Amino acid sequence: MKNPELVIMAAGMGSRYGGLKQIDKVDDAGHIIIDYSIYDAMRAGFRDFTFIIKREIEKDFREVMDPHLAGKDINVKYVFQELDKLPEGFSVPEGRTKPWGTAHALACCLGTVEGPFAVINADDYYGANAFIKIYEFLKNTEFDGKSHFSMVGYKIKNTVTEQGTVSRGVCVADENGLLTEIVERTKIGTQDGKIFFTEDGVDTELDPETLVSMNLWGFTPEYLTEANARFAKFLSDNLDKNPLKCEFFLPTVVSELIAEGKADVRVLDNSDKWYGVTYKEDKVAVVEAFKALKAKGVYPENF
């Protein structure tokens, strides 16, 4: 079996953030968040890395990343998520600039990523323990007529921002630690110390202990095949209703595979805190968090 690899999704342009946040420096040594993820992933055992980006950001992205990756004992590939990577019979709606979503991003890896893989967001910090757990799971999982996936869960209270709303996959696991349901909530915010999501103009409070996905998943290659095959139906169902902003989400495919009995998903306990930059105002807290982690000896000053 192939060694697990890490797929890093970096195709989003950071519209709410106001810039290319994937390559924004977060410490005095000039590291970006991806550097911390790669450092933690390498310590866990990962040596193969695939970046998903948009072709138009390749020059800016690689000008930053190539020096950061130089000298590391790793293999690096790039996959391009393009708007015109569509099934036969579909075309890009006039005025559409938004990528097609995380499931489409992974579908673009079909034929490039051929073994078990973990997937993360480029602009999120997941913690060293999360990578250790996902790597060990991937080393020991394989397709046996049914796909066996995993995800690292985070408590929602550790993942929200006071700067605006965020999207999260709200998860439910059974007594065996297997995911039973995941619902994508696109407008989760905080108010008066409480956490809520908004849908159709109605606010619904969420328990702060609610488990959510931060897009740290462990998959076998069957996921890529399924995502690619299901994209056409997604477009047929959604393109007319929301041509400029509809998105094919990674958890949507997971939920469908669970419901059809084609896959199960092991929820991995995780003690690490998640940090991320959704809005520019979030960056201050992230910078302070990395400074504190270095002071505790979790990371060296330079790596």
Determine the pLDDT at residue 18.
Answer: 46
Rounded-to-integer distance, Cα 274 and Cα 271, Å: 10
Rounded-to-integer distance, Cα 110 and Cα 98, Å: 21
The overall average pLDDT reported for the chain is: 90
Summarize the chain as % helix, strand, coil (round to 5): 30, 30, 40
Q: Is this model's pTM higher than 0.85 or not? A: yes
As separate numbers, helices (DSSP H) first and strands (DSSP E) second, the chain gives: 7, 13
Give tens-digit pLDDT for 224-243. Answer: 999 999 999 999 999 999 99
Q: How many C-beta neighbours within 10 Å does residue 92 have? A: 14
* Angle CA 63–100–163, to nearest 5: 75
Give tens-digit pLDDT for 133-161. Answer: 999 999 999 999 999 999 999 989 888 87
Determine the pLDDT at residue 17.
Answer: 41
Taking alpha carbons only, the member of 129, 106, 126, 151 closest to residue 34 is 126
Residues 6+ apart with CB under 8 A from 217: 118, 119, 134, 149, 150, 151, 152, 250, 254
Structural tokens at position 185? 């909530």
Residues 6+ apart with CB under 8 A from 102: 9, 215, 247, 248, 249, 250
Determine the pLDDT at residue 57.
Answer: 84
Structural tokens at position 247? 């998105």
Question: Is residue 149 a contact partner of residue 223, using CB atoms and an 8 Å limit?
Answer: yes
Angle of helix 128-139 relative to helix 33-44, nearest 10 degrees?
40
Q: With b meaning 16 or more CB within 10 Å and e meaning fewer, what string describes 210-233?
A: bbbbbbbbbbbbbbbebbbebbee
Rounded-to-integer distance, Cα 195 and Cα 204, Å: 8
Rounded-to-integer distance, Cα 114 and Cα 110, Å: 8
Considering only 24-28, 172-176, 237-241, which range has the smallest mean pLDDT? Answer: 24-28
Q: Which domains does the chain have, with CATH numbers?
A: 5-295 (3.90.550.10)
Rounded-to-integer distance, Cα 10 and Cα 64, Å: 13
Instruction: Check residue 244 and report its DSSP letter.
Output: T
Rounded-to-integer distance, Cα 171 and Cα 269, Å: 13
Residue found under tokens 């921002």? 161
Determine the pLDDT at residue 15.
Answer: 47
pLDDT higher than 70, residue 260: yes
Structural tokens at position 288? 């302070």
Taking alpha carbons only, the member of 85, 128, 131 closest to residue 106 is 85
Determine the pLDDT at residue 135.
Answer: 98
Determine the pLDDT at residue 270.
Answer: 80
